[in-house]
A and B are shown apart, each in its own frame.
Chain A
Amino acid sequence: MTIETLDLNAAVVGVFESMLALPIAVADEFADAEEGSAAVTGVISISGDWNGAVIVTVPNELARQVAAAMFALDADALTEAEIQDAVGELSNMVGGATKTMLGGSSSISLPSVTEGVRYRISIPGAREVANARFESNGSLLTISVVQGASKQPIASRKPS
Chain B
Amino acid sequence: MKILIVDDSKAMRMIVMRHLRQAGFGNHALEEASNGVEALASVNAGTPDLILCDWNMPEMNGLEFLKALRSKSVKVPFGFVTTESSPEMRQTAVTEGAAFLIAKPFTVETFETTLSPFLK
Question: B83 interface residue, CB < 8 Å from A?
Answer: yes
Question: A135 interface residue, CB < 8 Å from B?
Answer: no
Question: B105 interface residue, CB < 8 Å from A?
Answer: yes
Chain A interface main SS type: helix
Give how many B residues have a beta carbon under 8 Å from the other chain's beta carbons.
22
Residue of A19, A95, A107 touching B105 (CB-CB under 8 A): A19
CB-based contact B11/A89 at 8 Å: yes
Chain B residue numbers with a CB within 8 Å of A100 are 83-86, 103
CB-based contact B107/A96 at 8 Å: no
Given contacts A18-B107, A19-B105, contact A93 B14 (CB under 8 A): no
Chain B residue numbers with a CB within 8 Å of A18 are 105-107
Interface residues on A, range: 20 to 34
| One of A33-41, A80-88, A124-132 contacting the partner | A80-88
Which residues in B have some Cβ–Cβ distance to A below 8 Å? 8-12, 14-15, 18, 56-58, 82-86, 88, 103-107
